[in-house]
Structure 1
Amino acid sequence: MAIKGLFVRTDPQRRRYGVALLVGVLSGIISAFVKWGAEVPLPPRTFSGGRDEFNPPYIFLRDYLGIDPTQTVYTFSEHIINPVMVTHIIFSLVFAIGYCVVAEIFPKVKLWQGILAGLIVTVAVHGIFCPALNLTPPLTQLPFDEYASEILGHIFWFWIIEIMRRDLRN
């Protein structure tokens, strides 16, 4: 398939943007939990250099939004929870809604049940944007463990978004 084939558009009469938005919200919330679950057996940060303590969402909140994540903790089931994870839900919502809307226009974004989109997001976010914003070191300075965790996590993340999009839209 040529690159040109990736940008084939659906018939505008078949597009359902309202459904895409609703499905994007639902799949964004649920897929955030899938992404977190992937990080349990494969933690995305190493302990060396404080990478586990100061992860990209923490640094983003602190340096770009002026929110001190250490001051915004809450307790649930006797566990102290740092709501930095809220940024993951927000990111998940943004990407899921964006994916579902783009899928209405460009059906090829759904290649490999969304896995291709997950890989593209991995490269764009962790390979370009995070280093450019100084949220992470350049990819050349990260251990393989972080790549493996993020790649697998993004594959599962977008796969569940696509499964939900496909089933709820149809």
Structure 2
Amino acid sequence: MNLLKQTPPARRRYGLAAFIGLIAGIVSSFVKWGAEHPLPPRSPADMFNAACSPETLIRAADQIDCSRNFLNPPYIFLRDYLGIADPNSAVYTFAGHAFNSVGVTHIIFSIVFAVGYCIVVERFPIFKLWQGLLAGALAQLFVHMITFPLMGLTPPLLELPAYEHISEIVGHLIWFWSIEIIRRDLRNRITKEPDADVPLSSAFR
């Protein structure tokens, strides 16, 4: 069993991987956003009272929204960890619609993970297993199910509704699948080197 089988050093292209990861991160952020429209991860009816008290410092009492739909993980991260007073304030407007810091964070989050994924699989091809679906499942597990509750960005894991887990796992799988499709296509075109799939059987040799 060799789960951490590595690629030949001469074949690794870390700089190219980072560049491709930047492109894949931007494009895949829209893919993951799109997945949340038919499968919304949070409901306006679910309250997040533990994260609501700082809102009294930002807005009037009659304007406070304690729902998890409003107090989403990017919002709380920007407010509590980066000190942005109102993460929903407009960064720019387009066609009369405001694009806020939460949206910017969503894209940056996607870029960071896409660049990291593209660099890691240059050396450890096992993470390409199932065309990136393995990496998507691991990201869902370690980020949304472990890190976010520990940081207080979501309620404790056992308090999260089933529909949130369904939405997030579907979104993460589609997200990483799109990253892998872009990564493989661009890498093959640029390097002219075939980038074969990782068969499940080979992962355990």
Larger radius of gyration: 2
Indicate if the aligned counterparts of 1:28 and 1:92 stay in contact, CA closer than 8 A. Answer: yes
Q: Distance in 1 between matches of 2:93 and 2:32?
A: 22
Q: Distance in 2 between matches of 1:164 and 1:71?
A: 32
Q: Distance in 2 between matches of 1:63 and 1:72?
A: 18
For 1:99, give the aligned amino acid.
Y
Aligned equivalent of 1:81? 99
Q: Distance in 2 between matches of 1:165 and 1:94?
A: 14
- Indicate which of 128, 140, 165 corresponds to 1:122: 140
Structure 1 position 62, deviation (Å):
0.3
Q: Distance in 2 between matches of 1:167 and 1:132?
A: 37
| SS of structure 2 residue aligned to 1:136 | coil
Please show how residues 155-166 of structure 1 align to structure 2 within 5 Å: 155-166=173-184
| SS of structure 2 residue aligned to 1:125 | helix
Structure 1 position 72, deviation (Å):
3.5
- Indicate which of 68, 72, 77 corresponds to 1:55: 72
Q: Distance in 1 between matches of 2:168 and 2:83?
A: 26
Q: Distance in 2 between matches of 1:77 and 1:144?
A: 36
Aligned equivalent of 1:6? 3
Structure 1 position 6, deviation (Å):
1.5
Instruction: Say whether residues 1:71 and 2:89 are aligned partners.
Output: yes
Q: Distance in 2 between matches of 1:77 and 1:159?
A: 31
Q: Distance in 2 between matches of 1:17 and 1:80?
A: 36
Aligned equivalent of 1:90? 108
| SS of structure 1 residue aligned to 2:42 | coil
For 2:163, give the aligned amino acid.
D
Q: Distance in 1 between matches of 2:128 and 2:156?
A: 29
Q: Distance in 1 between matches of 2:154 and 2:70?
A: 12
TM-score of the aligned structures, taking structure 2 as reference length: 0.79
| SS of structure 2 residue aligned to 1:6 | coil
Instruction: Say whether residues 1:22 and 2:39 are aligned partners.
Output: no
TM-score of the aligned structures, taking structure 1 as reference length: 0.95
Unaligned runs of 5+ in 2: 48-66, 189-205
Unaligned runs of 5+ in 1: none
**Greater CA deviation, 143-152 or 82-91?**
82-91
Report how many residues are paired.
167
Instruction: Say whether residues 1:38 and 2:38 are aligned partners.
Output: no
For 1:60, give the aligned amino acid.
F
Percent identity (aligned) = 61
Q: Distance in 2 between matches of 1:116 and 1:71?
A: 36
* Larger helix proportion of the pair: 1
